[in-house]
């Protein structure tokens, strides 16, 4: 499989997550230190371990994501503990959506979601009540540069529109 046409901005995401985690850990330690210095030490060790494991897993997951476009399919694969591979024919794509959270906008990043007809549905709880929920079954490519996300969206839409049917881009 060819390299990702537009690279995922892993360094920005990991640095952002690291800063947020440090702020959280320091706040919890300061609150714990008010009550007990011993508890603060134990909390520091536990939270630091959790943060390091979380950052490592996030890095490995983002590093594992690969995607490519050919004449007929959008290919998407990745995963750390369990792997996935998805071949999405351009004829099945209905929407290409760009998402930008508040923090992504500050970092100049966007995420791209490729949606098919299977995207939404109803979930039923144990009491038989139905809820209309959004189920993401299509590829979700996180943390691209905003310009790259727009280029990827336009590329997918142009391939699909030329060969198959019109696709909506949001």
Does the global pTM surpass 0.85?
Answer: no
Structural domain count, the chain: 1
Q: Under a CB-based contact definition with an 8 Å cutoff, are residues 121 and 135 in contact? A: yes
| Closest listed residue to residue 93, CA positions, set 152, 5, 7, 8 | 152
Q: What is the pLDDT of residue 4?
A: 78
Task: Copy the structure tokens of residue 93.
Answer: 């794509």
**Conformation bin of residue 169: beta by default, left when phi > 0, alpha when psi is -120 to 50:** beta
Alpha-carbon distance of 101 to 111, in angstroms, equals 9
The residue whose two tokens read 């996030």 is 58
Low-confidence ranges of the chain (pLDDT < 50): 121
Could you tell me the residue range of the domain that residue 83 belongs to?
A: 1-170
Rg, the chain, Cα only: 20
Mind listing the pLDDT tens digit for each residue in 49-61?
A: 999 999 999 999 9
Q: What is the pLDDT of residue 139?
A: 87
């Amino acid at each position: 499989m060819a390299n990702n046409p537009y690279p995922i901005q892993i360094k920005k995401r990991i640095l952002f997550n690291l800063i947020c985690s440090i702020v959280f850990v320091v706040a919890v330690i300061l609150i714990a230190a008010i009550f007990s210095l011993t508890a603060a030490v134990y909390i520091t060790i536990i939270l630091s371990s959790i943060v390091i494991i979380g950052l490592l897993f996030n890095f490995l997951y983002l590093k594992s994501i690969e995607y490519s476009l050919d004449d007929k399919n959008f290919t998407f694969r990745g995963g750390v503990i369990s792997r996935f591979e998805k071949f999405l024919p351009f004829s099945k794509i209905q929407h290409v959506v760009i998402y930008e959270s508040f923090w992504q906008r500050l970092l100049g990043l966007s995420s791209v979601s490729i949606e098919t007809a299977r995207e939404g549905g109803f979930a039923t709880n144990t009491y038989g009540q139905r809820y209309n929920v959004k189920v993401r079954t299509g590829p979700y490519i996180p943390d691209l540069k905003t310009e790259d996300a727009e280029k990827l969206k336009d590329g997918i839409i142009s391939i699909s529109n030329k060969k198959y049917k019109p696709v909506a881009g949001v």
